[in-house]
Amino acid sequence: MFTGLIQALGKLQTLDNDRLQVTCLEPCDVIMTDIELGDSIAVDGVCLTVGTILPQGFIATASPETLVRSTLGKTPINRPVNLEASLRVGSKIGGHFVTGHVDGQGYLSDIVQTDSAWEISFTVPTGQASRYIVPKGSIGVNGISLTVAECSPSGDWFKVAVIPVTYDETNLQYLQPNDAVNLEGDILGKYVERFTQLGNGAVEPDISLDFLSAHGYG
C-alpha cells in the first residue's frame, strides 16, 4: 500500500524480458534505508518486489501482466521514474490509498502553466481505467496522488491541477505530448463497482446504483 506521494526519482533499465533494474538518480535515503528483500516499492505507480538490493537501487521481476498493463516495459530511457516506498503503519497519509495495481494507461494531451499551478490533461482509452475517473475523485498518475479537476462523462479525458512542488519533484516535468502514463483508479470505486455487480446478480443484498444514490453516494 502507498500514498501517492513521490519520494525520489530513479532510472529504469531492462535487464532481460522481465527483470528491471531501478537506480536512484541521487542519494535517496528514504528509499534505501532499511530496504530488505521482498519489500514493495512503487515504480511509476507499479508495485514491484525487491529481488536484489544494489548500493543505490534494486532489481525486481515484473510479471507479463504488469509489463502489458503498465509502461514499465517501454519507458523511455531518458525519462526518470517516480519512486515511493510502501506505507508504514503509523505513517502520515497525505495523498490517498494507492495499491500499486495499475488499471491501464493514459496519454498526455496538454500541459498549460498558470500563475499557481500546471494544468495537465490526459486522454484515456475507453475501458480499463476510464470508468474509475470521476470529477473531484482521486487518481494515481505514474504513482502520483492527484485529484480530477475536470473529466468527460465517459472518463476518456480528464484534467488535473498540479502544484509546483509536485511538478518539480516528479517525472511530470519530463512528459511530452502523447507520452503514456500509468493510471490507477481509487480503490473505493472498484469496490462500489463490484458491489453493484453482485447486487444485480442477486448473489448478495441488492446494492444497486439507485440504492447508493438514495443513501448519499450519488
**Residue 76 above 90 pLDDT?**
no
Cα angle value 32/82/51 (rounded, 5°): 45
The pLDDT value recorded for residue 87 is: 85
155-209 residue pLDDT tens: 999 999 999 999 999 999 999 999 999 999 987 767 677 767 665 554 455 666 6
Instruction: Give the Cα separation of 38 and 45 in Å (integer).
Output: 17
**Residue 92 above 90 pLDDT?**
no
The pLDDT value recorded for residue 84 is: 96
φ, ψ dihedrals at 164, nearest 5°: -55, -40
Instruction: Give the Cα separation of 172 and 112 in Å (integer).
Output: 12
79-90 residue pLDDT tens: 899 999 998 777
Instruction: Give the Cα separation of 198 and 100 in Å (integer).
Output: 25
Task: Give me the count of residues in the chain.
Answer: 218
Domains of the chain as residue ranges with CATH: 8-85 (2.40.30.20), 104-190 (2.40.30.20)
